[in-house]
Structure 1
């Protein structure tokens, strides 16, 4: 009577893939793994963020996406990573790069190094970065993620309901506001932001 020896060659490929994904999921590494793959996609330059036509303040004003004459996000409150509550309206007068993300979101994780690079290149007192985490797990998890990655851009959590103008069917979602507080650019989904076009757009908008 022949005895069949267990061999990995006899295990279907789908079963191996399922087992690997299961291990990654149970260890919490699936987000990082998927994010790394998506980061490679960004590196190809095929997912550049949309930049509104015209990079002068007058031309940009024509693309205003805000729903009213008041500043987008009026009344919205944010919590910093050290627990301080700040008003979104305090950023009026600056160009605001608002990115909505979460630690469990692979495309969010994938685009963050690129946003960090953009932040380092255009960071000034006239351009404010708001990396808004919507993690329901709370502040400690977000703090741990940011510290582990070594990011230096400003990170916040909502301290009040998210304004309707920043509502999005999915994340990541990025909004750029003019110094007048008007939404002039909206990007849903992962994108490459550290491009010459985006850097010029932000710097010229801040003039």
Structure 2
């Protein structure tokens, strides 16, 4: 009996040490993000299609990684994948590889706007470089219109050419799916037909 209690105590100490090393080593966001990637890979978490008509707003400014200020109004008349994220957010980290794969496939048809909400912008720059993500990353340079509710992140919007929000998703989701790509194709075909 004493040996069993001692063994359990050692197991708990080892577990707590591992958790402590992960947390204090700064790897907890990455580890939790990896676990959440496994959940995303199942495809059970998909983005929410907006039922009612909701008009997007283009009235704000962003800045790219090179320091160029961009008026978001330049995105009008395009299909826009707008994502709000941060390096400290495990669900954001979890969905980014999937978004990157989608970007590589659809970058000629869709404007990807990945807005980092990190206070430490240099940390976001280093993270993007470390992961070799190619999608465009921006920082906010003005207040955000109220139509974009970013009280939780990640938050993603898909805006059509007419400026209507077609997808609004709060929380992580798997976007690189056949149904989401079909939606992007429909919106792109609509653009080409005009």
Report the TM range for the smaller structure's normalisation. Answer: 0.7 to 0.9
Which whole-Å CA distance do the structure 1 matches of 2:115 and 2:11 have between them?
39
Aligned pair 1:160/2:149, yes or no? no
TM-score of the pair, normalised by structure 1: 0.83
Q: Does 1:84 align with 2:68?
A: yes
Residue 173 (str. 1) matches residue 171 (str. 2): no
**Alignment: residue pair count:** 186
Shift of 1:19: 2.7
> For 1:167 and 1:15, how far apart are their aligned partners in 2?
42
Gaps of 5+ in 2: none
State the shift of 1:15 in Å: 4.2
Q: CA deviation at 1:46?
A: 1.3
Q: Is the 8 A contact 1:51 1:197 kept in 2?
A: no
1:12 CA drift (Å): 5.6
SS state at 2:48 partner: coil
> Contact (CA 8 Å) 2:36, 2:91: kept in 1 or not?
yes
Q: Quick check: 2:49–2:166 contact (8 Å CA) kept in 1? A: no
Measure how far apart 1:203 and its partner are: 1.8
Distance in 1 separating the partners of 2:73 and 2:16: 47
| Alignment match of 1:49 (pick from 36, 47, 50) | 47
Aligned to 2:94: 110
Give, in whole Å, the separation in 2 of the partners of 1:100 and 1:13: 40
Moved over 4 A (4+): 12-15
1:128 aligns with 2:111: yes
Note the aligned Cα RMSD (angstroms): 2.1
Superposition TM-score, scaled by structure 2 size: 0.88
Aligned-partner SS, 1:165: coil
Name 1:59's counterpart in structure 2: none
**Within 5 A, what are the aligned runs for 1:176-191?**
176-191=158-173
Gaps of 5+ in 1: 1-6, 53-61, 67-71
SS of corresponding position for 2:62: strand
Q: Deviations over 1:8-65 (max 9, x none)?
A: 835265544333222212111000000000001111121122346xxxxxxxxx8422
Contact 2:58 2:76 in 1 (8 A): no
Q: Distance in 1 between matches of 2:71 and 2:6?
A: 58
When residues 106 and 11 of structure 1 are mapped into structure 2, their CA distance, relative to the original with a 3 A threshold, is same
Q: Which residue of 1 aligns with 2:83?
A: 99
